[in-house]
Amino acid sequence: MKNLALLTDFYQLTMMNGYLNNNIHKDTVVFDMFFRKNPCDNGFTIIAGIEQMIEYIENLKFTEEDLDYIQSLGFDDLFINELRNFKFSGTIYGVKEGSVMFPGEPIIRVKATCFEAQLIETAILNIVNFQSLIATKASRICTAAKGDSVFEFGLRRAQGPDAGIYGARAAVIGGCSSTSNVLAGKMFDIPVVGTQAHSWIQTFDTELEAFRAYAKTYPDKCMLLVDTYDTIQSGVPNAITVFNELRQLGYEPRGIRIDSGDLAYLSKRARKMLDEAGFPNALIVASSDLDEDTIHSLKIQGAVINGWGVGTNLITSKDCPALGGVYKLAAVEKNNGLIPKIKISENPEKITNPGYKKVVRIYEKCSGKAQADLIMLEDEIIERNKPLTIFHPVYTWKKKVIANYEVRELLIPIFEEGILKYKKQSIQDIQNYVKEEISTLWPEYLRLKKPEFYKVDLSKKLWDLKQTMVNQYKESGEI
């Protein structure tokens, strides 16, 4: 990844300069990154982009050209010299890439000087928000496909090259089997797929001639696009003609792709024609502005489709174009101790959880299914040999007693005092981890429509701290 030192909001620089001028730039602070709502009304969010965040931190250095530009914005030599020597030396804990997470819980925890922690905010949000959004959207589409292969076809409709590249990566993390994006394939070792466009068919005098030319070039992997003129009257019959010619040469065709029209009707007609012609193993791949709702509907209609090429609606997450991840101050260090900080709002859901925190996931021991997540202060310990009582953080009378359980801490070391501790993984390993994570969720959290809300509760100690701080602000008249 290229140096992204200037990938920040201007107010980060103004605040950093203010910290320096007030001689508090080396004070230690704690920030949490979290999101308040799952994208696409999903029951969970898949976290992606952790490895790109790591690359950003590792390459974070200001060049002389960067510094000249910053100085031209009105900053003095003292600030420029501080940036010239910048190197991230803080500690970052976060979830493993591919983790399934829920609103309100920290997914990244930064403990660093306020100078360092402030600078990295924008880039971390930019990287993790986008990839997590696309990974989650891809998961929804793959869920609707019910085990069929889903191909990421979105590069030409992505919001620029970076979105196309890292969106393809995130889509595969979320469950897609491959991408049309050649650069993403090279960068991340993702399988790449593709055949021909309508322009290939139109270039030749006839559709049959175009099919024969393609089959001659790729006899062992012949997939033909059959909807350029007339899918049923022309496309499929011509494809069958070429498939028979291939078989005589000792090759079996891959199948056909349909990119327009009534996909349910056309796929059923095409399947019948292919079967009757002796090609029951020929695949039928569909594209054409697909998303999870369309795929689900086509499944209900009995569409006979083996693979789905999904482009625009996936790479842009068209129905939910942003994940609203935020980065909030949770504590500051004073006299070798961390002092909790809280943001107050008239909207209860926007009141932050103060302090230096961790997240644990509670599993039912007999089934391995996740029961709830608990946000706790870092020094808290769960006595696993005793029943655990959790309660709703707003409707506190809603309680649940959990026995015979296991717990797992979700935040793991990424950087310790500037030293990388996180072990990077292959894209396939991350995708497999997503599948493992999803397998621990009960079906009610996996519904595409109106999923049940997963329990994310606060420990009693954290809840008490939060209420005490809110009441203190109320009594002081500051709110």
Which H or E run contains 309?
strand 307-310
Domains of the chain, residue spans: 10-135+321-476, 136-315
- Beta bridge partners of residue 113, listed in sequence order: 28
pLDDT for the residue 127: 98
Q: Is residue 335 classed exposed, middle or buried when 0-12, 13-18 and 19+ CB atoms within 10 A define those classes? A: exposed
pLDDT in tens, the chain (479 residues): 678 999 999 999 999 999 999 999 999 999 999 999 999 999 999 999 999 999 999 999 999 999 999 999 999 999 999 999 999 999 999 999 999 999 999 999 999 999 999 999 999 999 999 999 999 999 999 999 999 999 999 999 999 999 999 999 999 999 999 999 999 999 999 999 999 999 999 999 999 999 999 999 999 999 999 999 999 999 999 999 999 999 999 999 999 999 999 999 999 999 999 999 999 999 999 999 999 999 999 999 999 999 999 999 999 999 999 999 999 999 999 988 999 999 998 888 889 999 999 999 999 999 999 999 999 999 999 998 899 999 999 889 999 999 999 999 999 999 999 999 999 999 999 999 999 999 999 999 999 999 999 999 999 999 999 999 999 988 776 65
Provide the pLDDT for residue 3: 85
What is residue 250's predicted lDDT score, i.e. its pLDDT?
A: 98
The CATH class, in words, for 10-135+321-476 is: alpha beta
3-state secondary structure of 14: helix
The pLDDT value recorded for residue 394 is 87
Distance (Å, whole) CA 11 – CA 16: 8
Q: Cα-flanking dihedrals φ and ψ of residue 338, to 5°?
A: -90, 125
pLDDT digits (tens, 9 = 90+) for 325-372: 999 999 999 988 999 999 998 888 889 999 999 999 999 999 999 999
- The alpha carbon of 149 is separated from its chain's Cα centroid by a whole number of angstroms, namely 19
Q: What are phi and psi of 107, to 5 degrees?
A: -105, -20
CATH superfamily label, 136-315: Aldolase class I (3.20.20.70)
> Containing H/E element for 427?
helix 427-439
Q: How many other CB atoms are there within 10 angstroms of residue 442's CB atom?
A: 14
Note the pLDDT of residue 350.
87
- DSSP secondary structure string for all residues of 170-218: HHHHTT--EES-HHHHHHHT--B-----HHHHHHSSSHHHHHHHHHHH-
